[in-house]
A and B are shown apart, each in its own frame.
Chain A
Amino acid sequence: MRLNYPTNVKIIRVPCTGKVDTIHILRAFEKGADGVCVIGCMEGDCHYNSGNFRARKRVEQASHLLEQIGIGGERVKMFNLSSGEGPRFAQYAVEMTERVTALGPNPIKLARKRAAA
């Protein structure tokens, strides 16, 4: 469909969102990511029955941790869509970019900059 979305969105492939671990999400922030989306099947329509529910819980957990350590829980979000919904993917990619832009850079980045200066 060749739908445009921002170039800062990069995809890592997993067999199921159920494989996405909290540590994977946290590592991204540790290394300077400004936001992470976990994108899985529609709820109730998971290819592996229940993987996306597990992912939702882990995303909530990661969000909670990020909030507590001051990075911001809103920087991680779970989206659900079916494989035929390209336009929705693009829409979510734009939404997430806008959300993260509004939040500003990952505080770890700023802290590093300050430390360097």
Chain B
Amino acid sequence: MTAVNPYNKNLDDRRATFIEYPQAVPLAFAIDPKVCIGCGLCENICLAKAVRYADRIKESALRVGAVILSSGSEGYDPSGLDYFGYGRSPNVVTSEEFERILSASGPYRGHVMRPLDREEPRRIAWIQCVGSRDTNRCGNGYCSSVCCMYAIKEAMIAKEHIHGDLDCTIFNMDIRTFGKDYEKYYLRARDKEGVQFVKARIHTVDPIAETGDLAVRYVDESGAIREEIFSMVVLSVGLQIPRASVALAGQLGIELNKYNFVATDPFLPVTTSRPGIYTCGVFQGPKDIPSSITEASAAACAAGRDLAAARGTETRSIEIPDEIDVSGETPRIGVFVCNCGINIGGIVKVQEVQDYAATLPNVVYTDQNLFTCSQDTQDKIKDKIKAHRLNRVVVAACTPKTHEPMFQETLQACGINKYLFEMANIRNQNSWIHSNDPPAATRKAKDLVRAAVARAGTLHPLEEKKISVIPRALVVGGGVAGMNAALGLANQGFEAVLVEKEEKLGGLANRLTHTIEGADVGAYVDDLIRKVNDHPKIQVQTQSLIVGFTGFKGNFSTEVLVGPGMYERKIAHGAVVLATGAREYQPKEYGYGEDPRVVTQLELGARLAEKGAGDLNEVVMIQCVGSRNEENPNCSRICCQSAIKNALHIKAENPDANVYVLYRDIRTYGLLEDYYTEARAKGVLFFRYSPERPPEVVAGEAGVAVTFEDPILGRRLQVSADLLALSAGMVAEDTEELGSIMKLARNAEGYFMEAHVKLRPVEMATEGVFVCGTAHSPKLLSETIAQAYAAASRATTFLSQSEMTLSAVVAQVDADKCASCLVCVRSCPYGVPRINAEGVSEIDPALCHGCGICAGECPAKAIELNWYEDDQLLCKVEALLEGVL
């Protein structure tokens, strides 16, 4: 039976029995009850008897100490917006549908085609803000935060997939590439890959019946109506909260805001209105993957605080018998060949493979199983290991990626070292892909088993070292990020040493007055400082300077010079949280520093708090000062909202004042868009300027004369301002020395680099070191707080283990062969090898990541990577090619 495949957005079909998508966890089949006719075929054919038609949804009750809501979002359905042509032409697709079209596992296998006629498109238009920033038709007044980046990404990938000419045009109101290094990606798309960006409002998209093309009518920036023809249109649909999540929130008694996102306080970004219930991801507010992952860890930290007392109370440990010493014994290899039901057995002659295995050197026992991974087979394997005194085991079955750890446990349960194991993948790499040629598949299965047996014979036991973990963290930087990270750790029961180079805690937040939501930053910071100083598990060291750093994950030692007396202190700790922060850029532009009427947004904020806005009648603000330029190509993320916050403040106190904001793109992402809408409603005037023709500023006696161009009127305007506020960007604190002492990577702009931009946003590449706040990239206070919790949470996963088991797959140096040539020192991506006191290379197993790059590079072949030694790889090469010559 076939069914429409919702995973590929209904663009293709799947079976009624299906795996949802290739990366699904668990990777198991399900039956679609809507299409199943109950014929019983699958139940009869399933050898494992895994099909149960009678399975129903079961209700179970769990007793928990905390709840985290992370039910996410759904893409906006544009069916209601008829003028976009969605539903009228199959060649108008949503961005989610286009995402599947681009995907290798999508309906067209990654070949970019338009749905109507499966033709390769020549021109594709993206229409931004469909279901976002739209209070008129859909009521979603917020910005979805992610669509600008994904549209650029889709355009870039489409260009890559279509090798010929492909024109990509992104119609937008503002391009909002505000994340870390996102602006660089935008510039690459625009300047190098030729993606067009057009500022426009779309009037209609009309299908052209004869060609399947689409006529896009839009109003350009000058107000003129234009029309262009495209082969395909992609609607960049926004994120919205599904009805089911709204119902769930209702059931739980959680407050939502007017757009159905969970209502949170700017200083408690993951805390819901109900104690003990936390939230993260898009349910909290529109955000991208790195922010969602960060927030997920933050929610775990908040929940971990509630659960701290119960930590470790419900864990179970596995008893592992002492290892039998098999070194020096001749290999006695057991080979277990799997039928995997009919997955292997239906194609490969398993009996033949088993008989063949028995003829191979050192093989003393062979067997075959219907399912080698089943629990009863594990018991059987254990019996056979003991009965035949097996000291090496080969399983010929599926992929080690999913099953190796399980079989290794079986070995360990018999006292056999887990590295005396090898798998031959005769399913994924054989029977599945060679089903059209069973005899060849059987031959290949034998080849693979022969190679596995050859390698098994060369394996020797490896020892996994255990290291103790010092349950204390060093937090570098005492701003809002550092203080929250320290509290996050301390409230979960771990010690934190907070070192701050200044005399006073608080960092950049000391200069802030209110958040855009109106929350009092001063009161918050004072409260935070009090909590940190009063916490018995936190030691605060101000006026401190880090001068030395050694050790590895779980066991670091940091040398600090403390106080005006610069007395030396050594701190032993298991983890590091970097929270060194950023500061406001000191502009060189627009007469700043020469005329007191030219100020930064932070200075304006302080002035408004102090003196109000009664005397301000004409205020001009210039955006992107010290951001998005050659010196600092990135967007500073926070300045648009700073300007709007101050503009609203002025308008509230002095409604007759004229406030002009000169901008390039307004980037009030997420729920901040509401404040932009409010500012426009209150009469704040916004004018776009191009970086090629920036505003001109001349400070005179009567006022600061600012001349700029209005793209709508097409004329130059001049305002004589009482005050000119420059939206100065953010600059990372100077951490060059710290970075070199701690050997930590920073990007070109001096922000610390995370281990993975998307998947590991608070971890550094050096294990045990975490980063948060503006040391990572410019961000708002609420985002800083979330990331600080996240860093604390990730550090906790380290510190909560009393000891850590290190993988034995690390590089080892044979000191006798080492010529101290430094090739390993230079080639290691993690800077691990060093020349020791004996003058030879030494690789610390606690720091080694096990990639084997040094082993590959070493000209003296003095380095071997455990478990992948040259002999162990070469014997496989030779075994696979046996009989070829």
Contacts and interface: CB of A to CB of B under 8 A. Distances in A.
Given A2-B433, A7-B437, A12-B873, A33 B884 contact: yes
Interface in A50-105: 50-51, 54-55, 58, 84-88, 90
Interface core residue of A3, A31, A88 (most chain B CB under 10 Å): A31
A112 interface: yes
A11 B426 CA distance: 11
Interface in A5-20: 5, 7, 10-16, 18-20
Contact of B765 (A7, A21, A49): A49
Interface string A1-45: 111110100111111101111011001100111000000000000
B352 to A, nearest CB: 16
A16 B850 CA distance: 9
B436 A4 contact: yes
Given A19-B855, A48-B851, A28 B881 contact: yes
Nearest to B109: A87
Interface string B569-603: 00000000000000000000000000000000000
Contacts of A19: 851-853, 855-856, 865, 868
B487 interface: no
B441 A2 contact: no
Contacts of A18: 851-853, 856
B856 A20 contact: yes
Given A16-B852, A19-B868, A87-B110, A109 B829 contact: no
A98 B440 CA distance: 18
A103 B451 CA distance: 26
B865 A31 contact: no
Contacts of A90: 433
Given A15-B851, A18-B851, A19-B868, A10 B104 contact: no
A48 B432 contact: no
Contacts of B542: none
Interface in B840-860: 849-853, 855-857
Contact of B881 (A33, A84, A87): A33
A16 B829 CA distance: 12
A87 B111 CA distance: 11
Given A13-B400, A31-B878, A3 B827 contact: no
A14 B852 contact: yes
A113 to B, nearest CB: 9
Given A15-B850, A86-B22, A87-B109, A10 B448 contact: yes
Nearest to B811: A19
A31 B884 contact: yes
B444 interface: yes
A53 B880 CA distance: 27
Interface in B371-430: 400, 425, 429-430
Given A10-B447, A48-B853, A109 B104 contact: no
A55 B855 CA distance: 12
A4 B51 CA distance: 28
Contacts of B876: 12
A13 B434 CA distance: 20
B877 interface: yes
Contact of B22 (A1, A33, A50): A1
A56 B382 CA distance: 43
B870 A84 contact: no
B821 to A, nearest CB: 16
Contact of A54 (B432, B448, B853, B884): B853
Contacts of A31: 877-878, 881, 884-885
Given A10-B448, A27-B874, A51-B829, A2 B856 contact: no
Given A4-B433, A87-B109, A112 B885 contact: yes
Given A1-B105, A84-B105, A109 B852 contact: no
B264 to A, nearest CB: 34
A67 B440 CA distance: 31
Contacts of A7: 430, 434, 437, 440-441, 443-444
B857 A54 contact: yes
Contacts of A20: 856
21 contacts: A2-B435, A4-B434, A7-B430, A12-B877, A12-B880, A14-B873, A16-B853, A19-B851, A19-B855, A19-B865, A24-B873, A27-B877, A27-B878, A31-B884, A31-B885, A32-B885, A51-B829, A51-B851, A51-B852, A54-B827, A88-B110
Given A7-B444, A31-B881, 16 more contacts: A4-B434, A7-B437, A7-B443, A10-B451, A10-B880, A11-B429, A16-B853, A19-B868, A21-B855, A21-B870, A27-B877, A32-B881, A33-B877, A50-B829, A88-B104, A112-B885
Instruction: List 9 A-B pairs, minimum CB-CB distance, nearest first.
Output: A19-B852, A32-B884, A18-B853, A48-B851, A49-B829, A31-B881, A16-B851, A7-B440, A2-B432
